[in-house]
Structure 1
Amino acid sequence: MRKKIFNDVLNDFVDVENPPRRVVSLDPASTETLFMIGAGDLVVGTDAFSYRPPEARNRVKLGSYTHVKFEILDQLEPDIIFTTLGAQKDLTSELERKGYPVYPLRVATTVGEILNNILLVGNASGHQESSRLLYLDLLNKLNSLPHPEVRPRVYVELDLGGPITPGFPSHISDGIWLAGGKNVFDSLTDAYVEPRADQLKELQVDLIIYEPKRERPEELQRFRDSLKTRGLSHMLNLPVYVSRGDFLAHQGPSFIQEVIPWINKVIFSWLQTKK
C-alpha cells in the first residue's frame, strides 16, 4: 500500500510503499538503526561505509557516501532510500530530482537528534513500536550512567586527514557533557573546526580523547609526534585516551549505547589518577 509520509527536511510528503519491502540506506546511522529495530531483513543495499552491525557488510554496496551507481540502484528497486544531509546534501537532491523515493534525515547535532532519527526511521520503515523500545532502552542507558563529582575539561581530536575538533553544535560535544565532561571547545558555534595551536595553548585541558582513522598500535605515538610538530609540546604530559576509528564520529544508536559509556569510563579513569 502506498502512503505519503511527511519529511521535515524536505518540508514535503514522500510517496512510498508502506510498510516498505525493499530498503536502501545510504546513511550509516540509518543502516545501523534499521538493523537494531528489526528491519535489517528489508535492507537490500547500502553505502560502502555502512558496516554496523556486521550483517550490514553483506548487503549490496552502491557506492561511496556521496556517489551512487544508479544502474545498481535501479536493479534493487527500493521502496524507500534513507540518506542524510551534510556531505550527502547534493546526492539527496539528485535522488529527489530523479524521482527516487528518498527520505533524508538531519545530521545529528545533539544526542537528542540521534534519538529522534531512530523514531523517524522506525516510522518510515513500518517499525514504530520497536523504534520506541530502542529509544527507551537508550534513554535508560543514559540515565544509568554514574555522575562524576568533577567535570573534566576534554579536548577531542579526530584524524580526518588532518586534526578536527568538535564545537558546541555536535553530537560529540553533547555526548561528552552527558558522560560527565566538558568539551574545551564548547563555546565554538561551528560543529567542526581545525583547531589552531594558539587556541590550544590558551585552553586548560585535563585529558585528551584522540580518534585515529584506523586502530593501529602506532597511532598514539603518531598523535604525540603531531603535537610536537604543531608546537603543542605542553600537551604531551596530558593523559591521552585513544578510541577506535569511526567511533565518536558515528551518529547511529551505538553512539549512545557504546561511545557515551566509554567516555564516562574514561572520565572516571582520569579521576582515579587524581586521588
Structure 2
Amino acid sequence: MKLTHDWLGPLELPDNARRIVSLAPNVTETLFALGLGERVVGRSAFCYRPAATLSLPVVSSYTRVRWELLESLQPDLVLISTGVQRELLFELHRRGLPVFPVPLPQSPYGILENIAVLGALLGVSEAATGLCARLNERYQALHRALPPRRVYLEFDLGGPITAGRGSYVDEALRHLGLQNIFAEHPQSYFQPDLAEVVRREPALVIYEPKPHRSRPLEKAQRLLAERGWKYPLVVTGGDELAHYGPLFFEYLEALVGQIRGLAF
C-alpha cells in the first residue's frame, strides 16, 4: 500500500501485513477488535487489552524499545501512536522499519477515524466500517445523557493532569452534557492549579487513577480530603478515559451510570 504521511512523507507498506508489532494500546485493542489478533507478534508493556495480548512478547515501554527483540520478530509492520511516541516514531523510521503512526484523536470521532484507517491499511475495511458504525451508535445514544453539571476531571499520571480545549476527553464530556471547568483552556492536557479548580466551583470531580491500583475509590476520597475538597466524586477503573481504543465508548457508558447513581 502506497500512501503519504504528513510527518514521514511517502510510505510503501505491505498490502497484507501478517507480522505486526503494536506499540500503542489503542492500536493493539483495535487490531483484536477487527479480528486480527493472530497477526500481532509483539506489543508494548502498556498493551494489556484484551487479555489475549498478555501472552505476546513485550517489545517496548511506551518510549523505549528492545531493539534486538523487535528485529528478531521480523515485523512487516510496526504500528505506533503520535504524541509522546513521536521521537520513537522517527527512530523506527530512521532504522528502516516499516512503521505507520496512528494519530492522537482530538475528539471521539477521531477514535473511529483511526479504526477506519487501520481497516484500510490492513485490508479489513468492511470489518472496520461495521465496528465504527456500532461504536458510533453507542456514542450517539449518550448525547446529553447527563445534566449540565460543571466537572473537574483529573488523571493521576504521577501528579494531577486535566484536559482542556482540543482534547477528545473534553469533547466527550461535552457530548454527555457535562461542562468541563477547563473547557476553554488553550492546551489539550496540562497540570492544573488546584486553587484555580476551587475558584471554578465544580459540582463533580471525575478522578482517574493509575490502572491496577487497589482500593482506588478510598484513595481518591483520601486525596480529596487532604485537599479540603468536599465535591461529589466518581472514580474510574483506571486508564479508561485516557484510553482511546474501541473500549473508550464502553467506559463512557460506565461513567454515565456512575454519575446517574450519585445523590446530588
- Fold shared, TM-score > 0.5 on shorter chain: yes
Match of 2:57 in 1: 60
Instruction: Spell out the pairing of 1:132-171 with structure 2 (5 A cutoff).
Output: 132-145=129-142, 147-148=144-145, 150-171=147-168
User: Contact 2:79/2:99 (CA < 8 Å) preserved in 1?
Assistant: yes
2:10 is the counterpart of 1:13: yes
SS of residue paired to 2:60: coil
Query: Using a 3 Å threshold, how does the CA distance of structure 1 residues 204 and 92 change in structure 2: closer, same or farther?
Result: same
Code of the aligned partner of 2:4: F
Code of the aligned partner of 2:5: N
Match of 2:235 in 1: 242
Query: Using a 3 Å threshold, how does the CA distance of structure 1 residues 241 and 149 change in structure 2: closer, same or farther?
Result: closer
In structure 1, what is the Cα distance between the partners aligned to 2:215 and 2:6? 44
User: Contact 1:166/1:173 (CA < 8 Å) preserved in 2?
Assistant: yes
Code of the aligned partner of 1:92: L
Match of 1:181 in 2: 178
Indicate which of 253, 257, 263 corresponds to 1:261: 253
Post-superposition shift, 1:214? 3.9
In structure 2, what is the Cα distance between the partners aligned to 1:149 and 1:249? 20
Query: Using a 3 Å threshold, how does the CA distance of structure 1 residues 173 and 84 change in structure 2: closer, same or farther?
Result: same
User: Contact 2:27/2:79 (CA < 8 Å) preserved in 1?
Assistant: yes
Gaps of 5+ in 1: none
Post-superposition shift, 1:13? 2.8
Post-superposition shift, 1:46? 0.9
Match of 1:4 in 2: 2
Post-superposition shift, 1:227? 3.4
After superposition, the CA RMSD in angstroms is 1.8
User: Contact 1:80/1:103 (CA < 8 Å) preserved in 2?
Assistant: yes
Code of the aligned partner of 2:164: G
Gaps of 5+ in 2: none
Deviations 1:229-249 (A, max 9, x none): 4xx42x32x211111111111
Query: Using a 3 Å threshold, how does the CA distance of structure 1 residues 18 and 149 change in structure 2: closer, same or farther?
Result: closer
Match of 2:36 in 1: 39
In structure 1, what is the Cα distance between the partners aligned to 2:146 and 2:163? 24
In structure 2, what is the Cα distance between the partners aligned to 1:169 and 1:222? 30
Query: Using a 3 Å threshold, how does the CA distance of structure 1 residues 183 and 123 change in structure 2: closer, same or farther?
Result: same
Query: Using a 3 Å threshold, how does the CA distance of structure 1 residues 39 and 145 change in structure 2: closer, same or farther?
Result: same
Post-superposition shift, 1:90? 0.6
In structure 2, what is the Cα distance between the partners aligned to 1:100 and 1:110? 30
Query: Using a 3 Å threshold, how does the CA distance of structure 1 residues 265 and 61 change in structure 2: closer, same or farther?
Result: same
Post-superposition shift, 1:84? 1.1
The two structures have a TM-score, normalised by structure 1, of 0.90
Post-superposition shift, 1:130? 0.6
Query: Using a 3 Å threshold, how does the CA distance of structure 1 residues 85 and 55 change in structure 2: closer, same or farther?
Result: same
In structure 1, what is the Cα distance between the partners aligned to 2:146 and 2:22? 41
Task: Could you list the structure 1 runs, at least 4 aligned residues long, displaced by more than 6 angstroms after superposition.
Answer: none
User: Contact 1:9/1:106 (CA < 8 Å) preserved in 2?
Assistant: no
Identity %: 35
Match of 1:51 in 2: 48
